[in-house]
A and B are shown apart, each in its own frame.
Chain A
Amino acid sequence: MFGLDKGDKMESGFYGSSLKCKFEESGLANTHAIMEKAVRWFESRSIFVVAYGTGCGAIEMPPTFTSRYDAERMGVVGVATPRQADLIILSGYLAYKTLRRVIRTYEQMQKPRYIMSLGSCPINGGMYWDSYNTIKKLDDYIPVDVAVTGCMPRPEAVIDGFVLLQERIRNGEKAGWEKYDENLKFYKDNQKRVLGGHVDPAYETDWYNLNGGGIA
């Protein structure tokens, strides 16, 4: 989009793999588990959201984040750029064209990253069930962590989704981004099936193929 493809990524964080090994070697695995739990708690209390307004659900976002429902009291804040975001909210149906951009935005986010979808359309196509250019099941293309149902879900339901996501993060359940890493071929194949051979953000795939430091 803006010539950002050059970026190489690095693994880091409190519980990077090398640190984990060191802890386990020195018999501090318990300490590591406690630390991991604490970090998970902080992660659940601070969720930066990039709200990708597709479809009609975009209208539910402003009341969720402003005076009436105030998602900030749970630590859920909107940010302007996917680089800083932990959660992307996809608020409605996705055309193939939109899916391209969504994949790109999702892959620009830094791990751990989560996806929330609003409404029926990302689950089974909803009222676009027979559309020729709309995806029917979003979870086949990118891993959805929380699907909030409704047509459209009210802000209460969206906040319920936030609470569910926070519980999952706190419990350390397997998140969508981990599934995406493990089953990358499955997701990329599905994406190629609808988007044609060339899936726009090639760098994520290349990064895995070249084992880090790949430049697409």
Chain B
Amino acid sequence: MVFQIILLIMLAYVVGFIYFGLYRNITARIQGRYRPTVYQSFYDSIKLFSKKQSVSYGWMFYLGPIIMATGAVLTLILVPVFSDSDFLRSVTSQGNLFVLLYLMVLGPLGNALAVGTGGNPFGVMGVVRGLTRLIGLELPFYIAVVGLIIAANSSDIVHIIDMQKIGGLNIINHPLLFIGAMISMVGFFGESPFDIPGAPQEVYSGPRTEFSGKFLALLMSQGSLFAFAKLVLIVDLFLGGADSLEMLVLKTFAIFVSIIFIGIVYGRYKVEQAVDFLMKLPTLIAVLGLARVVWFG
């Protein structure tokens, strides 16, 4: 089982970094630039891990990225990656959607503690913006997840996948829940209308301002692991999971590309605009979807 977990982390690391490489590629092409290589994020990660110095401000500064990475890895191993195989089934059966929703918030909180120790005002500003955004971001996503739990009558993700095999995909059965969840997923990926915590040209790198060398490398790595975990979660919840590696890559990539395209097209909201928007339109859509589930099944 430990071997499977290591295998999964390696898979997520490689796929995550290649996805981010593709993200940079696609962004470059849309902006009319040439493009970096697909492996560029991987190069960056190795370079940052091999930096000779990393500035530190005490043990809490060390713990922050580690807490974030813990949240990402736990999310990753608790989400069922392959629907039909026994791959890590003994671990994924331990967790359910409630645990996952809790783990998804663990990272930002760990980050907040580390950034507070660093004392950089831009970092603190970024964390405050991030946590404010989280208020709006979680609402539509949680409502969508509650709708799915009611529809499947279970909070077990494996059960939700199995239900989709019998009754059709959730993206077709519950499109309103899907739209609500996807809008907040754009924010969870830090994409453009909601990229307020690390807003470039505004608060420098936001929470990451003070992180250098291997701390930054760890943050980047956990970011790609977490991104992969979130993509797999969306695929499991709405697209019926994936039974092979090809299907997994295809489905996660489809979700990823749609998120990228949304991110490239839009400009950035202000903090209060983002929270306002997230609490109105996506929440309304998700609530309508929930009402549809409750009254019509």
Residues of A within 8 A of B (CB): 2-4, 6-16, 39, 42-43, 45-46, 48, 66-67, 70, 72-73, 75, 77, 79-81, 83-84, 86, 108, 110-112
How would you classify the secondary structure of chain A's contact residues: helix, strand, loop or mixed?
loop
Q: List 5 A-B contacts (CB under 8 A).
A: A2-B119, A2-B121, A6-B119, A46-B43, A112-B51
Instruction: Sort A-B residue pairs by CB-CB distance and give the 6 closest, nearest first.
Output: A80-B204, A70-B33, A83-B212, A110-B53, A46-B47, A13-B52
A3–B24 CB distance below 8 A: no
Query: Which B residues are CB-close (under 8 A) to A80?
Result: 200-201, 204-205, 209
A10 to B55, CA, bound (A): 7
Q: Which residue of B lies closest to A41 (CB)?
A: B43
B53 near A12 with CB under 8 A, answer yes
Q: Is the CB of B211 within 8 A of A13?
A: no
The digit string for B196-240, where 1 denotes a CB below 8 A from any CB of A, is 000011001100111111101000000000000000000000000
Residues of B with Cβ closer than 8 Å to A?
24, 28, 31-37, 40, 43-44, 46-47, 49-57, 119-122, 200-201, 204-205, 208-214, 216
A73 and B36 contact, Cβ closer than 8 Å, known pairs A46-B43, A80-B204, A112-B51: yes
Q: How far is the CB of A84 from chain B (nearest CB, A)?
A: 6
Report yes or no: B53 in contact with A73, Cβ–Cβ below 8 A. no
- Residues A46 and B40 in contact, CB atoms below 8 Å apart: yes
Q: Which residues of B contact A75 (CB under 8 A)?
A: 36-37, 40, 43-44
State how many angstroms separate the Cβ of A53 from the closest Cβ of chain B. 14
Docked Cα-Cα span, A160 to B24, in Å, equals: 23
Distance in angstroms from B200 CB to nearest chain A CB is 6
Q: Is the CB–CB distance between B36 and A11 below 8 Å?
A: no
**Overall SS of chain B's interface:** loop
Q: Complex formed: what's the CA distance from A73 to B214 in Å?
A: 24
| CA distance in complex: A120, B71 (Å) | 51
Residues of B within 8 A of A73 (CB): 28, 33-37
CA distance A14 to B217 in the complex (A): 13
* A111 B52 Cβ-Cβ under 8 A: yes
Most buried by A among B36, B56, B121, B201: B36
- Tell me the bound Cα distance from A73 to B38 in angstroms: 10
Q: For B37, what are the chain A residues with a Cβ–Cβ distance below 8 Å?
A: 73, 75
Given contacts A14-B49, A80-B205, 20 further A-B pairs with CB under 8 A are: A12-B51, A12-B214, A13-B51, A13-B52, A16-B52, A42-B50, A46-B40, A46-B43, A70-B28, A72-B28, A73-B28, A83-B55, A84-B208, A84-B216, A108-B55, A110-B53, A110-B54, A110-B212, A110-B213, A112-B51
B55, A9: Cβ atoms closer than 8 Å: yes
Interface contact A110-B121, CB-CB below 8 Å: no
**A83 near B40 (CB under 8 angstroms)?**
no
How close is A38's CB to chain B, nearest CB, in angstroms? 9
Neighbouring A residues of B56 by C-beta, 8 Å: 7-10
**Looking at the complex, which one of A16, A39, A48, A110 makes contact with B55 (CB distance below 8 Å)?**
A110
- Write out the residue numbers on chain B whose beta carbons fall within 8 Å of the beta carbon of A67: 31-33
Q: Does the CB pair A3–B50 fall under 8 Å? A: no
Q: How far is the CB of B141 from chain A (nearest CB, A)?
A: 29
**Closest CB in chain B relative to A201 CB, distance in Å:** 13
Q: How far, in whole Å, are A11 and B34 apart by their CA atoms in the complex?
A: 37
- Interface pair A3/B119, CB less than 8 Å apart: yes
A12 contact set on B, CB distance < 8 A: 51-54, 213-214
Which residues of B have CB within 8 Å of A43? 47, 50
B8–chain A nearest beta-carbon distance, Å? 25
